[in-house]
Structure 1
Amino acid sequence: MRNILRLIAAAFAGIALAASPAGAARIKDLGTFQGLRANQLTGYGIVVGLAGTGDDSLDYATQGMKGVASRFGLTLPPGVSPAVKNAAAVMVTAELPAFAKPGQRLDVTVSALGKAKSLRGGTLLMAPLRGADNEIYAMAQGSLAVGGLGVEAADGSKLSVNVPSAGRIPGGASVERAVDAGFATAPSLMFNLAEADLTTAQRVAQAINGNLGGSLARAIDAVSIQIDAPPGAESRTQMMARIENLNVDPADAPARVIVNARTGTVVINGAVRISPAAVSHGKLTVAVKEEPRVIQPAPLSRGRTAIEESSQIEAVEETRPMFAFAPGASLSEIVQAVNAIGAAPSDLVAILEALKQAGAMKAELVVL
């Protein structure tokens, strides 16, 4: 009986795999619905409990400590600045995900604002986190987890591992206010592709119409697909869940060559094609060798010991055969031709740039 069930399960798995094209991607992997995005939060706070690695006399920290003291009814005498070497002024950042509800926890990152040497062992006092509209959406507080380490000796020598002036508080913020995504009251739904492509946008609209029926979806540009949806959050949520799991064959990426000049990395995608072209690439090496010689005067002469310069210059040019690209050469043929002449990454960049200038390579050349 178990064997029969296994065969049935395998048959259904095969059917599912056959139903999904090999190059297909889910709509949810191609972009996002407008309004369903994360929001950045930022706040200012004070970290206390440091072992003498704080800001010392930084004005920001001093004012912050006075503000903290005033919350509890403690008023410092005028002109008196608290010793804040065990405290530090910090900036607190977090990301508020879509549909976050009050009471949910967020991870926060705490970074020193002034000259604090290390935040290790510190505790963040209650700090409000504000959004772009200057409204408070979360409150942060807790003990920091700092992965860096900084040590300073009496003679001035220092040792630093990673970055001790920044840390994280897992679940250190509590959401106080939800963000209205607006998708339930908008006239229609809008799906935005992560990468602009007219063909992909049209295929997404066709897939939605083919599954839901009618002409509900329209590609209005290379990024956005407008979808007519019934009013109400529940019905729209069901429609969005159905849409984002549809499979679509995205359009082929444009021919592109990526060159990282700093690391010498060259990436060529499979859409790159080469027109008929012949390439000859040589390497010229010039070596200058200095061998000074000491000349001694003859015995009983009045001459002096001198140094005679002796230089040798040698130029060697490697002879490499010319190779030709056939019409429409593919990525594998390009790699084989370049490997055959033993071209280094810098040589490959020179060859690709020359092919681009000659009009033999119809691809975008991106230099990072």
Structure 2
Amino acid sequence: MARVIRFHQHGGPEVLRIEQAEAVPPAGGEVQIRVKALGLNRAEALLRAGTYIEQAVFPSGLGLEAAGLVEAVGADVTDFAPGDAVSIVPPQSMVRWPAYGELATFPAELVVKHPPSLDWKEAAAVWMPYLTAYGALVDVAGLRQSDFVVVTAASSSVGLAAIQIANRIGAIPIAVTRTRAKAEALLAAGAAHVVATAEENLEARLRDISGAAGVRVVLDPIGGPIFEPLTAAMARGGILVEYGGLSPAPTPFPLHAVLGKGLTLRGYLVHEITGDPRRLAAAKAFILDGLASGAFKPVIARTFAFDDIVAAHRYLESNEQFGKIVVTV
């Protein structure tokens, strides 16, 4: 038996329960992990609330990121052995492959031996943010040296990973946040500029920063009214990659900016990368190289114990964090 976190109905953080479940050995092609740390993602709060792209099957597990030691391997698994230190690429389905537990099982192709320079908390905070940011900026947008790139929700784990990736490439990251409360931290994290939308005119500031070149790439998980000032400040032929929908307000289609400047507005989910072996291999090589060099370093906002999962989810939904929330097991 092993402890797992599940929920039996949709709702707030209080529906999460710690329960005992049978520890089923891994099947062929699977690797079972004794989990040391979990990385929390907003997708898990959405699944719990019943508003995610995937539907829960009750009682439902959840969780997309974990790091730990290999406990057992299934038939035909030759690249891993018990005792290996590994982390997990987010699976396509967290209902099928839930991470929240003392033991968790995943397809072997999603298991990665992480660099020894990472501790368990950092290893659990790598793959969702860096794969999401890499896929949007490098794979989809083709970010180049000297490009101005706007990163909204910049203090999120994806936003901070995007800033590091932009700097690795030699692009110029512009962090967009609501107020200037996190401005110093964002500059220290590598942002070249910080724009506070509640205190400054977003379009005017982006035009002032980017000058005649304009902003070529925008990475946004918010949507809503922010689309109009963002696209107004973009360069001809620029691309806006949308990977969320956090704004409750309608998202206007900026027709005149899109037509006048030939802009691309592109929806994106990390599943594009994790579901394509060739693209995933390129992404893993890029991220592992950045981790090994020290150019990439996961930012941990706060750590909770496994028994405090309800409090961890409440903090996740507070929007107060700077970086990744991690749960230790």
Is TM (by shorter chain) over 0.5?
Answer: no
Please state which structure has a larger fraction of its residues in strand: 1
Greater percentage in helix = 2
- Scaled to the shorter chain, the TM-score interval is under 0.3
TM-score (norm 1): 0.20
Q: Compare CA radii of gyration and give the structure with the larger one.
A: 1
